[in-house]
Amino acid sequence: MFTRRRAPLREKITLITGANGEVGHGLIEHLAATRSAADVVVLDLRGLDEAMRGKVNRVIVGDILDNELINLLLNEYEIETIIHLAALLSTHSEFNPETAHRVNVQGTLNLLKLAIEQGKSRGSPVKFIFPSSIAVYGLPDAETKARAGAVKEQEYLYPITMYGCNKLYCEHLGRYYAQYYQQLSAMPSMGVDFRCVRFPGLISANTMPTGGTSDYAPEMLHAAVQGKHYACFVSEEAQIPFMVMPDAIKSLLLLERAPQNMLNHYIYNVSSFSLTAGEIAERVRASFAGADITFDPDPARAAIVESWPRDIDDAAARAEWGWQPEYDADRSFEEYLIPTVRAIYAK
């Protein structure tokens, strides 16, 4: 007599790619502190920093462009959510545009395909959380930028960087895989549950960023606390929106947990405050009396910042999934950035 052999249950996990970056660190720390990150499997070219490894289920050192690895993940786990952070950021992408295209676009496509296949095997769509960026915008000149004020999701989508082009196209890919994938087949796919936030420049007190074009704000702060001179690569008047890391993490998780029937869009702006580089320098100087900040704009990098909006309109996120930043500019500097960097560098 033969008994039917039951397939072993696959472990249910959340997959976080690019987890060893700034946002990944913030996210894992937050998950470990609030619920647990025991169901989190991370995938990053650089693995995960030693101090954080115990906080997650498994660390995979690997490349999102490695199809064999993607297949392995497909077979080994039941992936409920993918938080896809792995990317090459704006400045690095400008130096290596074709590599950026492979990582940012082909890498995202690989993960969307993984989500589709997982959805088929588990019978319900996989949540796919994707951080996009204000780099998708491209305002043609300073006058238009001043006039535009807080721009909406669908306005001024003419990016001037490879990174911005990559992010904008991946937003479209996400929408396509959510709604139209295999639309002509007799059995259309159930798609993926694609959810995207467009971040402004992010500032973390805990990590020093590399590779972004909005990095001047955190670089100013980290230089001042160490008593180092900082020459800012944009002018004092340059203005874009910013957000501190705790709010960035809050937005990702709030969107991830939002009931699907509340969501009428795939892509949402999220914002908290907008300051000029000069205003950021003033705030840093007010806290670190000897802060030595000068302005020495690099025309090419400054032009990229100039093409990004002064502010973004996040009304849809507020209305549909209750987005509300915890930190305005005052709170960001007084309660998060200044005390945290002081404590870190005092050690």
Q: Using CB under 6 A, list all residues that contact ligand NAD.
A: 17-18, 20-24, 43-46, 63-65, 85-89, 103, 107, 131, 133, 199, 201-202, 209, 211-212, 214
Q: How far is CA 217 from the centre of its chain?
A: 17
Q: Which residue is nearest to ligand NAD (CB)?
A: 21
- Residue among 182, 136, 143, 131 nearest 24 (CA): 131
**Which value, in Å, is the radius of gyration of the alpha carbons in the chain?**
21
In the complex, the smallest distance separating the C-beta of residue 2 from ligand NAD, rounded to whole angstroms, is 44
**Least distance in angstroms from the C-beta of 89 to ligand NAD:** 5
Selection from 107, 177, 167, 109 nearest residue 136 by Cα: 167
Nearer to ligand NAD, 92 or 189 (CB): 92
Measured from the CB atom, the residue of 131 and 159 that comes closer to ligand NAD is 131
- From the CB of 342, what's the least distance to ligand NAD, in Å? 22
Q: Which two tokens stand for residue 294?
A: 């000068």
Nearest distance from C-beta of residue 83 to ligand NAD, angstroms: 9
For ligand NAD, the closer of residues 103 and 178 by Cβ is 103
Please report how close the Cβ of residue 223 comes to ligand NAD at its closest, in angstroms. Answer: 17
| φ/ψ of residue 186, rounded to 5 | -65, -30
137: number of Cβ within 10 Å? 25
Closest to ligand NAD by CB, 18 or 297: 18
Q: Which of 81, 109, 54 is nearest to 256 (CA)?
A: 81
Q: Minimum distance from CB of 63 to ligand NAD (Å)?
A: 4
Nearest Cα residue to 135 out of 174, 93, 102 = 93
Phi-psi region of 235 (alpha: psi -120 to 50; beta: other; left: phi over 0): beta
Longest dimension (CA), the chain: 83
Q: Give 65 or 150: the residue with its C-beta nearer to ligand NAD.
A: 65
Q: Which is nearer to ligand NAD, 85 or 178 (CB)?
A: 85
Joined tokens for residue 92: 């690095």
